[in-house]
Amino acid sequence: MTISQTLTAPARTGATRGRASVAGLLTPARTAALKTTLWGLSFPLGLLALWWISSDAGWLPAQILPAPLVIWESFAELLQDGSLWVHTWASLERVAVGFALGALFGLIFGAASGLSPTFRAYFYPPVQAVARVNVLAWMPLLALFLGIDEELKYVIIAWSTAIPIILGTARGIENVSPSLLELGAAFNFRTRDRLRLIVLPASLPSIFTGLREGLANAWQTLVLVELFASFEGLGYLMVWGRQLFQLELVIVSMIIIGVIGLLLNIVLRWIEGLGQHWKTEVGDER
């Protein structure tokens, strides 16, 4: 081996190892996820570019749609004076309390409806009837009993959260495969083991679907209840900006609401993945 070959051999080995490490990171599943993410970002980025060009060209009056730079300056100002943190924290606290109450009630009621035919026959039809009526239609009646303070907001958010969780939990338990139940009977599973090893794993996808829908309902309902007799929160910030004809405040609030809602959905999907650890990345059971 010549001197030049000796010197270039380590470099070639390092390049080969680098390509192998990159190939190991870019697995087919991760490549598909990256493509999906890029495609998902292409539309909002295209809208942002069109918005920026339209504002610079003067195609849209500032009273109708402020420029992106104005939105950014308003966001920085709210962040600097601390008001954005106050409003965001107030909204998150309301969602946390309302979602926790609604999820707890929804899981218990849904599990009872799915496991007990008698309970389902008596109590499940009224829930389906109530689910057909928008929760906001009950707000004037609830305000007579609860007032217009935080309790009303908690109850409305919990109500909108519980409905999809009840439906998803009851549907998931009811649709457990009979063959799996027969398998548990063949192994002489006790009730506790049957629920833990068969019913719960089989119904988890439907339960988490209900939880995601409940969380989405909670976040959407939050904005609406904050429009009603509220003095803090992202929904209130939107109303305040509209009353002052400062649309940048409205748009900043909308962006924060959308980003937080997306992050909450991502966190819940991550928890769902942890709860269904027996599944692989492509969704096949091990």
pLDDT tens digit sequence for 194-225: 777 777 787 888 888 888 888 888 888 887 88
Q: State both tokens at 178.
A: 């009979």
For residues 218 and 99, the answer to whether their CB atoms sit within 8 Å is yes
Q: Mean of the pLDDT values across residues 231-240?
A: 82
What is the structure's pLDDT at 280? 45
For residues 164 and 153, the answer to whether their CB atoms sit within 8 Å is no
Count of all residues that appear for the chain in the document? 286
Q: Is 65 helix (H, G, I), strand (E, B) or coil?
A: coil
Beta strands in the chain (DSSP E): none
Consecutive H or E run containing 147: none
CA 108 to each of CA 101, 104, 113, 188: distance values in angstroms, whole numbers, following the listed order: 11, 6, 9, 26
**Among 139-153, 167-181, 210-224, 267-281, whose mean pLDDT is lowest?**
267-281
Q: Is the pTM of this model over 0.85?
A: no
Pairwise CA distance, residues 8 & 139, whole Å: 76
Taken in order of first residue, the domains within the chain and their CATH numbers are 3-57 (no CATH), 68-275 (1.10.3720.10)
Helices 247-275 and 68-81 sit at what angle, rounded to 10 degrees?
A: 70
